[in-house]
Copies of this chain bind each other. A is one copy, B any other.
Amino acid sequence: MTTRAERTAKGTRSRQKLVEATGTLLRRQGFHATGLAEIVTESGAPRGSLYFYFPGGKEELACTALAESGAMWRELLIRVIDASPNLGTAVENVCRLFAEGLAASNWEHGCPLATVALEASGASPAVREVCANHFAAWEELIAARLGAVGASPEDAARFGRFALAALEGALMLAKVKQDPAPLIEAGAMLREMFERHMPVVR
């Protein structure tokens, strides 16, 4: 017989498996192509755990998975920036890391939010809001680091937003072309831009 604590630990693992499988499927094929049956199969979690943990069904599961992916990418950005000697190098390193991840996943693992953001934002206000909030958090992170090395609040904000736009566009183009070049090139251009406009970034 299993104890209550064992059952709870097992339940938490099932919940986490469902969230991770959803994140993987959303990133690979988007919201509309991902069905609940596929999520259960991919996760290996018991079918009953789905509506127990996510009574709101696919939309609730998608919002949870997207929020988790969004937070993970924010942590990743922080780690890369902290490990780089300056922000110009950091943005190049981020682009290289994304390019390697894309190539290693057979061009499947692009931005964990972008696909869903584009195809489902019209269909689900909740999904749209989760995506918009996480994009804003990434922009603010870049802006805060630019501000910390002396950029004016206005410059920090506009460069943060522009850098995210260029990164997202380059991720999309690299995925579709199955070629790391758009990302590698965007990294070099953004570094050049940071260094030229804000010498303090060097």
List the number of copies, as a whole number: 2
- Say what secondary structure dominates the interface of chain A: helix
* Cβ of A135 under 8 Å from chain B: yes
In whole angstroms, how far apart are the Cα atoms of A136 and B193 in the complex?
24
Query: Are A123 and B166 CB-contacts (below 8 A) given A110-B118, A132-B176, A158-B185?
Result: no
* Cβ of A10 under 8 Å from chain B: no
Query: Are A118 and B107 CB-contacts (below 8 A) given A30-B30, A165-B169?
Result: no
**Minimum CB–CB distance for A67 against chain B, Å:** 14
Q: Which residue of B lies closest to A29 (CB)?
A: B119
CB pair B123–A29 under 8 Å, yes or no, is yes
Interface residues on A, range: 35 or more
CB pair A162–B166 under 8 Å, yes or no, is yes
* Cβ of A141 under 8 Å from chain B: no
* Cβ of A49 under 8 Å from chain B: no
**Minimum CB–CB distance for A134 against chain B, Å:** 10
CB pair B29–A135 under 8 Å, yes or no, is no
* Cβ of A173 under 8 Å from chain B: yes
* Cβ of A32 under 8 Å from chain B: yes
CB pair B177–A135 under 8 Å, yes or no, is yes
In whole angstroms, how far apart are the Cα atoms of A167 and B168 in the complex?
10
CB pair B114–A172 under 8 Å, yes or no, is yes
* Cβ of A117 under 8 Å from chain B: yes
**Minimum CB–CB distance for A73 against chain B, Å:** 15
